[in-house]
Amino acid sequence: MALRTEELMLNMGPQHPSTHGVLRLVVTLDGENIVDVAPDIGYLHSSVEKMMEYRTYLQNVALTDRGMDYLTALANEEAYLLAVERLGGISVPPRARWLRTIMLEFQRLSSHLVWLGTWGIDLGATTVFLYCFRERERILDLFEQVTGGRLHHVYFRPGGVYEDLPAGWTDRALEFCDEFLDRLQEYHDLLTGNPIFLARTQGVGVLPREAAINMGACGPVARASGVDFDVRKAFPYEAYGEVEFDIPVQTAGDCFARYLVRMEEMRQSVRIIRQAIGNLPPGEIRSKVQVTVKLPRGEVYARTESPRGDLGVYLISEGEEVPYRVKIRAPSFSNLYALTEMMRGWKVADVIAILGSVDIVLSDVDR
């Protein structure tokens, strides 16, 4: 269209009910069309990388929960401890590895449920939020019985996990898994066939495959664009090499594809949990590691697949009780790059739908 109006700068956030935290978007509009989007970040910068340099390796576990992505506390602990264990040559007993796998997959479920619920609210489907949080509360109850925390667990330790499962927990977990698949079908019934939902998501915010790779998108965002990559398959850690699961891949690259990828990921998570509970070996849960462990001089990079994507921790040790430097490669941060690419050319009403489908957590972006 040749018709153009004067460009309008629209400020969204940092206090906005749909920006999922304290993200500020400076949207340049031509009429109703988006010309450019500039995310303004840093409103939740908690300087956790600097703080880690003053705390011992054990104390940092408590910090990774809060300072990084707060929806996936255990995935953060996993990424950090994987780096610590690789650098220190600390062995993890088999039972602890399987326990970690179970917990990580439950964390993935709870994180995706928060995403689905809040995205539902953004798109006008409030019921989904209530249903998702109903299921999430049951997962949090399961977490609370094992780790003692609802959101922040501090459950993994260098060389294992803190406590073993309580009696009867596996039965409750399997019971939940059976019920959850029915609930997942309910979410599909509510959303997947809904014409309003389809109109707002299908074909909206397309991220082509090339752009996804160039922008460094990772996790479900990249997989929805046809990038068949999952760290759990490519570089297996913990017990992921010994369980069977599929990587859901979609090629459309729009909001609906991202939705389908995450819904299928939840189904695969249930599959992994069932296998892991079935294969759970007996034995030790924690190898002997000092409270103030000293790691040898060196550098290490550990990458994991958090629910948001490729979460990596780069750790440098100078042979002291505290790390010399910790660099966190945050998945939300690299997905935020791709946001501008997705939004350009769409209407201003689609900003919320696209932003919600990317599933960023501002604590992860700013750290």
In the complex, which residues of this chain contact another protein (CB under 8 A)? Answer: 14-15, 17, 21-22, 42-47, 50-51, 53-56, 58-63, 65-67, 70-71, 114, 117-118, 127, 129-131, 133-134, 136-137, 140-141, 144-152, 154, 162-163, 166, 186, 189-191, 193-195, 291, 362-363
User: What are the start-end ranges of the E strands in 90-178?
Assistant: 156-157, 160-161
Query: Nearest approach, Cβ of 20 to another protein (angstroms)?
Result: 9
Answer whether 110's CB lies under 8 Å from 132's CB. Answer: no
What does the alpha-carbon distance between residue 139 and residue 106 come to, in Å, rounded to a whole number? Answer: 7
Closest by Cα among 201, 137, 147 to 169? 147
Query: Judged by CB, which is closer to another protein: 1, or 195?
Result: 195
20: left (phi over 0), alpha (psi -120 to 50) or beta: left
Q: How many residues does the chain have?
A: 367
Query: Nearest approach, Cβ of 330 to another protein (angstroms)?
Result: 15
Query: Nearest approach, Cβ of 46 to another protein (angstroms)?
Result: 6
Query: Nearest approach, Cβ of 199 to another protein (angstroms)?
Result: 10
Query: Judged by CB, which is closer to another protein: 135, or 341?
Result: 135
What does the alpha-carbon distance between residue 218 and residue 229 come to, in Å, rounded to a whole number? Answer: 8
Query: Nearest approach, Cβ of 194 to another protein (angstroms)?
Result: 5
Query: Nearest approach, Cβ of 332 to another protein (angstroms)?
Result: 14
What does the alpha-carbon distance between residue 263 and residue 322 come to, in Å, rounded to a whole number? Answer: 40
Q: Per the structure block, which two tokens stand in for 38?
A: 């500039």
Query: Judged by CB, which is closer to another protein: 42, or 241?
Result: 42
Query: Judged by CB, which is closer to another protein: 136, or 223?
Result: 136
Query: Nearest approach, Cβ of 6 to another protein (angstroms)?
Result: 27
Query: Judged by CB, which is closer to another protein: 161, or 249?
Result: 161
CA atoms within 13 A on the CB side of 183: 21
CA distance to 2, 85, 206, 223, 251, per residue, from 211 (Å): 27, 35, 10, 12, 13
Do the bridges between strand 325-329 and strand 309-317 make them parallel or antiparallel, or are there none, so unpaired? antiparallel
Query: Nearest approach, Cβ of 95 to another protein (angstroms)?
Result: 18
Query: Judged by CB, which is closer to another protein: 162, or 301?
Result: 162
Query: Nearest approach, Cβ of 87 to another protein (angstroms)?
Result: 20
Query: Judged by CB, which is closer to another protein: 28, or 59?
Result: 59
Query: Judged by CB, which is closer to another protein: 67, or 88?
Result: 67
Query: Judged by CB, which is closer to another protein: 114, or 215?
Result: 114
User: What are the start-end ranges of the E strands in the chain?
Assistant: 7-12, 24-30, 33-40, 156-157, 160-161, 298-306, 309-317, 325-329
| Residue 347 DSSP label | B
Give SS3 for 302. Answer: strand
Q: Per the structure block, which two tokens stand in for 87?
A: 């650098």
Answer whether 76's CB lies under 8 Å from 329's CB. Answer: no
